[in-house]
Structure 1
């Protein structure tokens, strides 16, 4: 996994104004979109003075990048903790899709926040595009490592990531969390095929 230079989650206090701004911005941007949420709405929702908001984040562009970093670190920690509940490398690999299914079943699921950010801002904001690419690369590295642990070929990791990314988009558009279960079934077929090929 790509390691962040500084841990936002380690230094952030949700009761601190900066922490409240980040967590509130993350929620509002994810629910409504980046363009739809102005700094005044964010100020009110985070319960901080506008002057304090701009002191912490002088520009909305800087705030958006901080939110993406915050979102990425939270995603990586939550996924890692979930995978650690499984005993074998194969179970951990398939648990990626169990984690997605659990997420898709929540009332707050609105698709992948990184894909959403890229779709809205990625073509005009190189910083956002870079942050999204880094998150996707980090997820690929996680799956690469899990596939290596079961002795699978590198191509398998790419295929499994495509299934996970496709499930997120499909679930967001269709509103059907079952996309994760279908992706898991397909992933299991690919994993078993790779194991058979390796043993044959």
Structure 2
């Protein structure tokens, strides 16, 4: 299916506005104006605000997955691939647009009233945990390491957003090194 230019523009604009202001704070008229489309075109592309929110979450999932994987693939060995997760976070946290994890933010804002948003946020987090589990397995680490590293990454995202500082990525990376080395039986 060919995605229209207007659809892409609407999703990209909604993503930026939702990230900056929150989902509920952005009305359809503001989105229409910012995207440069008519209200009719907006509703032709998306029958409801919830359909726009889901398209934004899908876009964020794809962006996260591709960006993280590109960083991890550059790492030289399995241990470095696990640590590259935190290198990816460090780069993301330094971006001017960083406002925390869009899935955590969406879940906090809409999870109680939108089962669709809550379910998608859960699936996104599960896919990250599965990704980390695959990297840990490739490194020869025991299964307990992946959830530990996932929790470190999630905590770093929240801490960086609240503190407004990228330092959490480095701190989490340091903790990850200790956990990885212990799990792999390495000593300092």
- Name the counterpart of 1:45: 34
Question: What residue in structure 2 maps to residue 3 of structure 1?
Answer: none
Which residue of structure 2 aligns with residue 65 of structure 1? 54
Q: Which runs of 5+ in 1 are unaligned?
A: 1-5
SS at match of 1:191: helix
TM-score normalised per structure 1: 0.90
Match of 1:58, SS state, is coil
Equivalenced residue count is: 187
Write the distance in 1 (CA, Å) between the matches of 2:91 and 2:3. 26
Of residues 72, 89, 92 in structure 2, which corresponds to 1:83?
72
Shift of 1:78: 1.2
Matched ranges for 1:4-153 at <5 A: 12=3, 16-153=5-142
* 2:160 is equivalent to residue 171 of structure 1: yes
Alignment partners' CA distance in 2, 1:154 and 1:31? 37
How far 1:106 moved relative to its partner? Answer: 1.3
Corresponding residue to 1:191 among 158, 180, 183 = 180
Structure 1, residues 172-197: CA drift from partner, whole Å, max 9, x if none?
A: 11112110000000000000001118
- Indicate the larger mover: 124-133 or 64-73: 64-73
Task: Provide, for residues 154-187 of structure 1, a one-character-per-residue CA deviation record: whole Å limited to 9, x for no partner.
Answer: 1100000000000000001111211000000000
d(CA) in 2 for partners of 1:70 and 1:174? 26
CA RMSD of aligned residues (A): 1.5
Q: Identify the match of residue 143 of structure 2 among 148, 154, 171.
A: 154
- Runs of 4 or more off by more than 2 Å in structure 1? none
Q: Aligned partners of 2:11, 2:54: CA distance in 1, in Å?
A: 10
